[in-house]
Chains A and B, each alone.
Chain A
């Protein structure tokens, strides 16, 4: 009997895991954005002293994990699992970081939904009493993502207005079976939803239906309403996707307009920073959650948050073969103790 299951896709934890600490490292551009004061470390050079963008991303992820563990007053050896993933082929940046860290490692891939996916799985491990401490982490890097998914950096082409800017950044959260801090009480695991969008320059529109499906399912499964949250935040739908998601959820009968925002819009000032539609990438929801949201929760300016990281499950092969872009979204409910 799955006694912790609630409705179709939601789990309610019996012993809600605590997020005892988080850490973030971001690139220079993110460090010029509106959330700059929330990040632990802002790189001045996004090559981070390494020889390639991929290694720089890996180092960023590794150092973020170390920083999060340190802030939680723990040691690397206290960590029983590391749940992590990134956007690069075969999870290069996480696997190489895991090699250096020596924490038992479970690699995951949910594209930019990685943060919520690792928090979900981590919470189940903790609530299931399989571990007392673990780290959930993910990263993305503008330059490593560009060369894998799009064009070389020096190519003189134009980005379309619906295109998003991959966040250079990594966010890590330490989950514990006990301790002080915001707790994860529910998770809603999303289904892959694809409404046939093929435009790789319009990821927000491709992922919005998945976010809508997961959020609506979360409301139905738990009985919560938008009013039960201080903030419902999607991962990287950016300006186009956010509007679509808000409209579509409105059509189902939930008015989220007062509490809804998107990490891709929070992290950059689209006008000033010329990011077009907004931020994207695993690092987008990871740094916004582990930086801004977690710190605001600690200050008790936010108390009830639904983090819905969104992922576009395409590959360069699938889009070259003319396939549409499948989307996914996972929801994690995080609350402060009252």
Chain B
């Protein structure tokens, strides 16, 4: 079989498979994501308001809120609830900061059996590591560009 013929065959098969494969239930998924994601943000707003009423600075409020939400995400992952929520809510529970906590706790728990150093310690970041790399990396870049522009 020539290379072109092979590519054509693969393309045909791919199109055929696409037609046979069930499509995601978009509407249901979107509604779930919207509601759960929205509710987690409402909880975040509530925490924000409580701290603001305690006259904390904006930066401290933001940090405290993040820490509390991360604790909640971690805790509900630990007791085995967050994955069940995620199954329904999808991005609704992945995209909020609680989902970031879930992405750290889940592998940490999973790889405990490989030890506390190379298991928990190393595998904790298999999913969240890239988030930090690109988040921190791009923020430094933004800082440097800001300096360049405002020189």
Once the chains are docked, how many angstroms separate the CA of A195 from the CA of B9? 7
Closest-by-CB residue of A relative to B16 is: A244
Q: Which listed residue (A154, A161, A205, A244) contacts B102, Cβ 8 A?
A: A154
Would you give the shortest CB distance from A299 to chain B, in whole angstroms? 35
Contacts A153-B83, A155-B127, A195-B13 known; A162 to B22 CB distance under 8 Å?
A: yes
Q: How many residues of B contact A (CB 8 A)?
A: 38
A315 to B29, CA, bound (A): 30
Which residues on B sit within 8 Å (CB–CB) of A243? Answer: 20
B-contacting residues, A14-65, CB 8 Å: 51-52
Q: How far is the CA of A157 from the CA of B99 in the complex (A)?
A: 9
Q: Shortest beta-carbon distance, B18 to chain A, in Å?
A: 9
Are the CB atoms of B13 and A196 closer together than 8 Å? yes
Q: Which of A154, A158, A240 sits near B106, CB closer than 8 Å?
A: A154
Q: How far is the CA of A50 from the CA of B105 in the complex (A)?
A: 23
Contact B103 A240 (CB under 8 A): no
CA distance in complex: A205, B13 (Å): 9
Answer whether A154 and B77 are a contact pair too, CB < 8 Å, given A162-B22, A196-B10: yes
Mask: chain B, 76-118; 1 = CB below 8 Å from A; 0 = not: 0110101111110110011000010011011101110100000
- Which of the residues A156, A160, A161, A244 comes within 8 Å of B94, measured between beta carbons? A156
Known: A151-B106, A196-B10, A197-B13. A156 touches B99 (CB 8 A): yes
* Residues of chain A within 8 A of B107, CB atoms compared: 152, 155
Chain B nearest Cβ from A264, distance in angstroms: 15
Given contacts A154-B109, A157-B86, A158-B90, contact A197 B77 (CB under 8 A): no
* Chain A positions within 8 Å of B83 at CB level: 153-156
CA distance A155 to B80 in the complex (A): 9
Q: Is the interface of A mostly helix, strand, loop or mixed?
A: loop
Contacts of A234 in B (CB 8 A): none
Whether the pair A197, B102 counts as a contact (CB closer than 8 A) is no
In Å, the complex CA distance between A277 and B20 comes to 12
A154 x B20 contact (CB < 8 A): no
Q: How many residues of A contact B (CB 8 A)?
A: 25
**Contact digits for B1-29, partner A, Cβ 8 Å, 1 yes 0 no:** 00000000111011011001111110001
Q: In the bound complex, how far is the Cα of B89 from the Cα of A158, in angstroms?
A: 8
Q: Please give me the residue from chain B that is nearest to A52 by CB atom.
A: B113
By beta carbon, the residue of chain B nearest A209 is B13
Residue in B closest to A162 when the chains form the complex, CB atoms = B21
Please give the distance in Å from B31's CB to the nearest CB on chain A: 14
Residues in B whose Cβ lies below 8 Å from that of A185: none
CB pair B86–A240 under 8 Å, yes or no, is no
Chain A residues lying within 8 Å of B106, measured Cβ to Cβ, are 151-156
> A202 within 8 Å of B by Cβ?
yes
Q: Give the distance to chain A from B71, nearest Cβ to Cβ, in Å.
A: 16
A161-B21, A205-B17 given; 18 more Cβ-contact pairs under 8 Å:
A51-B113, A154-B82, A155-B83, A155-B86, A155-B106, A156-B77, A156-B85, A156-B89, A157-B90, A158-B86, A161-B23, A161-B24, A161-B25, A162-B21, A162-B22, A197-B14, A197-B17, A202-B21
Q: Enumerate 19 A-B pairs (CB-CB under 8 Å) in ascending A order.
A: A152-B111, A153-B106, A154-B77, A154-B80, A154-B110, A155-B103, A156-B82, A156-B89, A156-B99, A156-B106, A157-B90, A158-B87, A195-B10, A195-B14, A197-B13, A197-B14, A197-B17, A202-B21, A205-B20
Report A's interface with B, CB cutoff 8 A.
51-52, 147, 151-162, 195-197, 202, 205, 209, 240, 243-244, 277
